[in-house]
A and B are shown apart, each in its own frame.
Chain A
Amino acid sequence: LRGLNNLLFYRYRDLAPQLVPLDYTDKPDVTLPYELIGSMPELKDNPFRQRIAEVFSEDGDGNMTLDDFLDMFSVLSEMAPRDLKAYYAFKIYDFNNDDYICKSDLEKTVNKLTRNELTPEEVRLVCEKVIYEADLDNDGKLSLEDFQHMIIRAPDFLSTFHIRI
Chain B
Amino acid sequence: MHPPAGPAASPGPAAPPAGAELLRWQWQEVQVPCLVAAWILVASLAKIVFHLSRKVTSIVPESCLLILLGLGLGGIVLAVAKKAKYQLEPNMFFLFLLPPIVLDSGYFMPSRLFFDNIGAILTYAVVGTLWNSFTTGTALWGLHQAGLMDPGVEAGLMDFLLFGSLISAVDPVAVLAVFEEVHVNETLFIIVFGESLLNDAVTVVLYKVFNSFVELGPAHIHATDYVKGVASFFLVSLGGTAVGLLFAFLLALITRFTKRVRIIEPLFVFLLAYVAYLAAEMVSLSAILAVTFCGICCKKYVEANISQKSRTTVKYTMKTLASSSETIIFMFLGMSAVDTSKWAWDTALVLGTLLFILLFRAVGVVLQTYVLNRFRLIPLDRIDQVVMSYGGLRGAVAFALVILLDRDKVKAKDYFVATTIVVVFFTVIVQGLTIKPLVTWLKVKRSDHHKPTLNEELHEHAFDHILAAVEDIVGHHGYHYWRDKWEQFDKKYLSQLLMRKSAYRLRDEIWDVYYKLNIRDAISFVDQGGHVLSAAKLALPSMPSRTSMSESSVTNLLRESGSGACLDLQVIDTVRSRRDKEDAAMHHVLRGSLYKPRRRYKASYSRHFISPDKQERQDKEIFRQNMKRRLETFKSTKHNICSSKSKARMKEKGRKKKDISLTSDAPNGRTHRSVPWQEAAPVLVMVSSEEEESDSSETEREDDEGIVFIARATDEVLQGKATPGSLDVCPSPCIIPPSPTLAEKELPWKGDQADLAVYVSSETTKIVPVDMQKAWNQSISSLESIASPPGIETGPQHRRFACPVLEEQPQSASQAMPEQISCFQFPSHVSKSGRSLSDSSPDGVEQQELQPLMAAEEQGRALPPAEPRRLMFSRASHI
Chain A residues proximal to chain B, CB less than 8 Å: 8, 11, 14, 37, 40, 42-43, 45-49, 52-53, 69, 72-73, 76, 78, 89, 92-93, 109-110, 112-114, 117-119, 121-122, 125-126, 128-130, 132-138, 140, 149-151, 153-157, 159-165
A163, B467: Cβ atoms under 8 Å?
A: yes
Closest 3 CB pairs of A and B: A42-B472, A138-B645, A46-B469
Chosen A-B contacts, 19 in total, with CB atoms closer than 8 Å, are A46-B472, A46-B484, A49-B469, A89-B459, A93-B462, A113-B458, A113-B462, A118-B508, A118-B510, A121-B604, A122-B604, A126-B514, A128-B631, A129-B454, A132-B631, A137-B731, A157-B459, A157-B460, A162-B377
Chain B residues in 8 Å Cβ range of A110: 458, 510
- A69-B473, A121-B604 are known; give 15 further A-B pairs, CB within 8 A: A47-B465, A93-B462, A113-B510, A117-B505, A129-B514, A130-B455, A133-B454, A136-B649, A154-B456, A157-B459, A157-B460, A159-B377, A160-B378, A163-B467, A164-B377
Residue of B nearest to A137 (CB): B731
Chain A residues in 8 Å Cβ range of B627: 125
Instruction: Select the residue from B456, B510, B641, B655 with max chain A CB neighbours within 10 A.
Output: B510
Chain A residues in 8 Å Cβ range of B645: 132, 135, 138
A130, B454: Cβ atoms under 8 Å?
A: yes
Q: Decide yes or no whether B471 CB sits under 8 A from chain A.
A: yes
**Cβ contact of B511, chosen from A93, A126, A136, A159, cutoff 8 A:** A126
A129, B648: Cβ atoms under 8 Å?
A: no
A14, B475: Cβ atoms under 8 Å?
A: yes
B467, A150: Cβ atoms under 8 Å?
A: no
Q: Decide yes or no whether B745 CB sits under 8 A from chain A.
A: no
A92, B462: Cβ atoms under 8 Å?
A: yes
Chain A residues in 8 Å Cβ range of B468: 46
Residue of A nearest to B513 (CB): A126
Chain A residues in 8 Å Cβ range of B470: 52, 72-73, 76, 163
Contact count A vs B, C-beta below 8 Å? 145
Chain B residues in 8 Å Cβ range of A135: 645, 648
- Compute how far the CA of A132 lies from the CA of B645 in the bound complex, rounded to whole angstroms: 8
A138, B638: Cβ atoms under 8 Å?
A: yes
Chain A residues in 8 Å Cβ range of B514: 122, 125-126, 129
For chain B, residues 437 to 464, give those with C-beta under 8 angstroms from any C-beta of chain A. 448, 453-456, 458-463
A48-B469, A126-B454 known; A161-B463 Cβ under 8 A: yes
- Compute how far the CA of A161 lies from the CA of B459 in the bound complex, rounded to whole angstroms: 10
Q: Decide yes or no whether B394 CB sits under 8 A from chain A.
A: no
- Compute how far the CA of A113 lies from the CA of B377 in the bound complex, rounded to whole angstroms: 25
Chain B residues in 8 Å Cβ range of A46: 465, 468-469, 472, 484
A114, B510: Cβ atoms under 8 Å?
A: yes
B474, A73: Cβ atoms under 8 Å?
A: yes
B454, A155: Cβ atoms under 8 Å?
A: no
B465, A48: Cβ atoms under 8 Å?
A: yes
Residue of B nearest to A53 (CB): B473
B458, A109: Cβ atoms under 8 Å?
A: yes
Residue of A nearest to B488 (CB): A45
For chain B, residues 466 to 486, give those with C-beta under 8 angstroms from any C-beta of chain A. 466-476, 478, 480-481, 484
A151, B459: Cβ atoms under 8 Å?
A: yes
- Compute how far the CA of A104 lies from the CA of B453 in the bound complex, rounded to whole angstroms: 20
A132, B604: Cβ atoms under 8 Å?
A: no
Give min CB distance, A138 to chain B, whole Å. 4
Main SS class of interface, A: helix
B634, A122: Cβ atoms under 8 Å?
A: no
- Compute how far the CA of A78 lies from the CA of B514 in the bound complex, rounded to whole angstroms: 32
Residue of B nearest to A132 (CB): B634
Chain B residues in 8 Å Cβ range of A72: 470, 473-474
B466, A48: Cβ atoms under 8 Å?
A: yes
B465, A153: Cβ atoms under 8 Å?
A: no
- Compute how far the CA of A52 lies from the CA of B473 in the bound complex, rounded to whole angstroms: 10
Chain A residues in 8 Å Cβ range of B760: none
B511, A122: Cβ atoms under 8 Å?
A: yes
Main SS class of interface, B: helix
Q: Decide yes or no whether B101 CB sits under 8 A from chain A.
A: no
- Compute how far the CA of A98 lies from the CA of B131 in the bound complex, rounded to whole angstroms: 57
Residue of A nearest to B507 (CB): A117
**Cβ contact of B476, chosen from A40, A114, A163, cutoff 8 A:** A163
Chain A residues in 8 Å Cβ range of B474: 8, 11, 72-73, 163, 165
Chain A residues in 8 Å Cβ range of B466: 48, 52, 89, 92, 161
Chain B residues in 8 Å Cβ range of A129: 454, 514, 517
**Cβ contact of B473, chosen from A43, A78, A109, A159, cutoff 8 A:** A43
Q: Decide yes or no whether B652 CB sits under 8 A from chain A.
A: yes
Chain B residues in 8 Å Cβ range of A42: 472, 481
- Compute how far the CA of A89 lies from the CA of B725 in the bound complex, rounded to whole angstroms: 36
- Compute how far the CA of A69 lies from the CA of B767 in the bound complex, rounded to whole angstroms: 63
Chain A residues in 8 Å Cβ range of B488: 45
- Compute how far the CA of A138 lies from the CA of B648 in the bound complex, rounded to whole angstroms: 9
**Cβ contact of B634, chosen from A45, A128, A153, cutoff 8 A:** A128
B604, A76: Cβ atoms under 8 Å?
A: no
Chain B residues in 8 Å Cβ range of A130: 454-455, 458
A133, B462: Cβ atoms under 8 Å?
A: no
Chain A residues in 8 Å Cβ range of B604: 119, 121-122
Residue of B nearest to A52 (CB): B469
Give min CB distance, B641 to chain A, whole Å. 7
Chain A residues in 8 Å Cβ range of B481: 42
- Compute how far the CA of A113 lies from the CA of B378 in the bound complex, rounded to whole angstroms: 26
Chain A residues in 8 Å Cβ range of B638: 138, 140
Chain A residues in 8 Å Cβ range of B510: 110, 113-114, 118, 126
- Compute how far the CA of A3 lies from the CA of B453 in the bound complex, rounded to whole angstroms: 40
A153, B655: Cβ atoms under 8 Å?
A: yes
A164, B454: Cβ atoms under 8 Å?
A: no
A161, B631: Cβ atoms under 8 Å?
A: no
Chain B residues in 8 Å Cβ range of A73: 470, 474
Give min CB distance, A126 to chain B, whole Å. 5
- Compute how far the CA of A141 lies from the CA of B247 in the bound complex, rounded to whole angstroms: 47
- Compute how far the CA of A85 lies from the CA of B731 in the bound complex, rounded to whole angstroms: 27
- Compute how far the CA of A46 lies from the CA of B463 in the bound complex, rounded to whole angstroms: 11
A93-B462, A113-B462 known; A76-B467 Cβ under 8 A: yes
Residue of A nearest to B506 (CB): A117
A52-B473, A118-B508, A118-B511 known; A163-B462 Cβ under 8 A: no
- Compute how far the CA of A118 lies from the CA of B652 in the bound complex, rounded to whole angstroms: 30
Give min CB distance, B656 to chain A, whole Å. 8
- Compute how far the CA of A14 lies from the CA of B638 in the bound complex, rounded to whole angstroms: 52
Residue of A nearest to B469 (CB): A46
- Compute how far the CA of A125 lies from the CA of B629 in the bound complex, rounded to whole angstroms: 12
- Compute how far the CA of A52 lies from the CA of B511 in the bound complex, rounded to whole angstroms: 24
B469, A114: Cβ atoms under 8 Å?
A: no
B652, A136: Cβ atoms under 8 Å?
A: yes
Q: Decide yes or no whether B678 CB sits under 8 A from chain A.
A: no
Annotate B479-503 by CB proximity to A: 1 below 8 A, 0 otherwise: 0110010001000000000000000
Chain B residues in 8 Å Cβ range of A52: 466, 469-470, 473
- Compute how far the CA of A140 lies from the CA of B466 in the bound complex, rounded to whole angstroms: 25
A125-B631, A130-B454 known; A109-B462 Cβ under 8 A: yes
- Compute how far the CA of A141 lies from the CA of B868 in the bound complex, rounded to whole angstroms: 42
Q: Decide yes or no whether B825 CB sits under 8 A from chain A.
A: no
Give min CB distance, B636 to chain A, whole Å. 12
- Compute how far the CA of A135 lies from the CA of B649 in the bound complex, rounded to whole angstroms: 8
Chain A residues in 8 Å Cβ range of B462: 48, 89, 92-93, 109, 113
- Compute how far the CA of A136 lies from the CA of B470 in the bound complex, rounded to whole angstroms: 31
Chain A residues in 8 Å Cβ range of B484: 45-46
Residue of B nearest to A41 (CB): B472
- Compute how far the CA of A122 lies from the CA of B600 in the bound complex, rounded to whole angstroms: 12
- Compute how far the CA of A102 lies from the CA of B547 in the bound complex, rounded to whole angstroms: 44
B641, A78: Cβ atoms under 8 Å?
A: no
Q: Decide yes or no whether B232 CB sits under 8 A from chain A.
A: no
Q: Decide yes or no whether B779 CB sits under 8 A from chain A.
A: no
Chain A residues in 8 Å Cβ range of B699: none
A133, B453: Cβ atoms under 8 Å?
A: yes
B463, A160: Cβ atoms under 8 Å?
A: yes
Q: Decide yes or no whether B643 CB sits under 8 A from chain A.
A: yes
**Cβ contact of A43, chosen from B378, B453, B469, B508, cutoff 8 A:** B469
